[in-house]
Amino acid sequence: MQPTFILVAVGSLGLLMLVAAVVLDRLGPTTVVQERLGRYAETGGLISTLDGAGEARAERRSQLADFFDRLGEGTDLFDNISRHLARADIKFRPSEYIALIVVSGIGAFFVGSIVGKSMGFGFLSGVFGLFVPPIYILRAQRRRLKLFNNQLGDMLNLVVNGLRAGYSTLQALEAVSRELPSPISDEFHRVVQEMQLGIAMEDALDHLIRRISSDDLDLVITAINVQREVGGNLAEILDVISYTIRERVRIQGEIAALTAQGRATAWVISALPIILMLLLFLVNREYFMQFFNPETRGCGIPLILVAGLMVLVGFAIVQKIVKIDI
């Protein structure tokens, strides 16, 4: 490989890392509700609760990012991205998230080209790099949803005790936002903030279920909405739901322990062909490149694609077998 190409690749990678650092610097601790308050303040409708640092960050926002956000506002693509980012509790705007995907793909392409000394390997690395941010978002969503579901039983007990002590529903939810740890406290803090702004409780809870895709939470919110419509003892209803949710969490833990071996087997068996391919590429590159030579790639490339498809299908089947709905 030419030294000039290596210098250009390393310089480009450094520039991409600098761009990524600037994008990460835009990431602040501002919540979704606080960003909405900032927009209301700009229109003169409401007073913003952003502190001085938050206002400084808002002023430093990229004009280009603002342009793309306005361009994609209201589209299904940006709405889906915003929903996924909110569920993962990642403070990126849709345009910043798309930019991060592009930077990840280009950076992985240059790294693969330098390490593998091949444009083909760099292309494969670039394709993999494009999927790194979505995979991270998906894992963050699952991890946060699991934490939320595990805390839901304690949240219901706190709400039930508050209602029996004479609290209103809003006061009970506000106690949840103060007493319980993250992430459930953060989500109910947003609910309380929206209700204090004048948004109806049904709408605020509907926003919550959009951010947290949980069947147990959906059951709780449905019970609260029905009680507000027809009346009844909300404390007793939530007490029964709390017992049901606790039993479901317990059974899910037992199932997870019983199926741990099957899930680990799926990961190991699926990773073995990939690891073997990488080892062959590093140890005996000439042997591995027979798949891509002009004389044999008509057979080699389809074989690799079929093998990759079989690995994915086998992994999906095993995951489907060990996944048991409660």
pLDDT in tens, 59-73: 445 555 565 566 556
**Residue 260 pLDDT greater than 70, yes or no:** yes
The residue behind tokens 């991270």 is: 136
Q: Are residues 210 and 303 in the same domain?
A: no
- Residue at 253 is within a domain: no
Whether residue 144 contacts residue 87, with contact meaning beta carbons closer than 8 Å, is answered with yes
> pLDDT tier at 46 (50, 70, 90 boundaries)?
very low
Cα-Cα-Cα-Cα dihedral sign, residues 108, 112, 113, 114: positive
**Residue 280 pLDDT greater than 60, yes or no:** yes
Query: Looking at residue 38, what is its pLDDT?
Result: 42
Whether residue 110 contacts residue 13, with contact meaning beta carbons closer than 8 Å, is answered with yes
Q: Are residues 164 and 81 in the same domain?
A: no
Q: Judging by beta carbons within 10 Å of its beta carbon (0-12, 13-18, 19+), is residue 176 exposed, middle or buried?
A: buried
- Residue at 88 is within a domain: yes
Q: Are residues 182 and 74 in the same domain?
A: no
**Residue 237 pLDDT greater than 60, yes or no:** yes
> pLDDT tier at 18 (50, 70, 90 boundaries)?
low
Q: How far apart are CA 225 and CA 231, in angstroms?
A: 10
Q: What is the CATH number of the domain that holds 176?
A: 1.20.81
Q: Are residues 11 and 115 in the same domain?
A: yes
Q: Are residues 210 and 292 in the same domain?
A: no
Lowest mean pLDDT among 12-16, 19-23, 105-109: 19-23
Whether residue 37 contacts residue 46, with contact meaning beta carbons closer than 8 Å, is answered with yes
Q: Are residues 132 and 12 in the same domain?
A: yes
Query: Looking at residue 67, what is its pLDDT?
Result: 55
> Domain ends where: 198, 214, 248?
248
**Residue 241 pLDDT greater than 70, yes or no:** yes
- Residue at 315 is within a domain: yes
> pLDDT tier at 234 (50, 70, 90 boundaries)?
confident
> Domain ends where: 113, 139, 165?
139
Which residue range(s) make up the domain with 305?
Answer: 259-322
Q: Are residues 134 and 7 in the same domain?
A: yes
- Residue at 182 is within a domain: yes
Query: Looking at residue 59, what is its pLDDT?
Result: 47
Q: Are residues 57 and 31 in the same domain?
A: yes
Q: Are residues 265 and 285 in the same domain?
A: yes
- Residue at 122 is within a domain: yes
Query: Looking at residue 43, what is its pLDDT?
Result: 32
Q: Are residues 30 and 119 in the same domain?
A: yes
> pLDDT tier at 97 (50, 70, 90 boundaries)?
confident
Please indicate whether residue 169 or residue 124 has the higher confidence score (pLDDT). 169
- Residue at 254 is within a domain: no
Number of independent structural domains in the chain: 3
- Residue at 64 is within a domain: yes
> Domain ends where: 248, 277, 301?
248
Whether residue 87 contacts residue 145, with contact meaning beta carbons closer than 8 Å, is answered with yes
**Residue 75 pLDDT greater than 80, yes or no:** no
- Residue at 76 is within a domain: yes
Query: Looking at residue 116, what is its pLDDT?
Result: 66
Q: Are residues 183 and 304 in the same domain?
A: no
Q: Are residues 209 and 223 in the same domain?
A: yes
Average pLDDT in the chain = 77
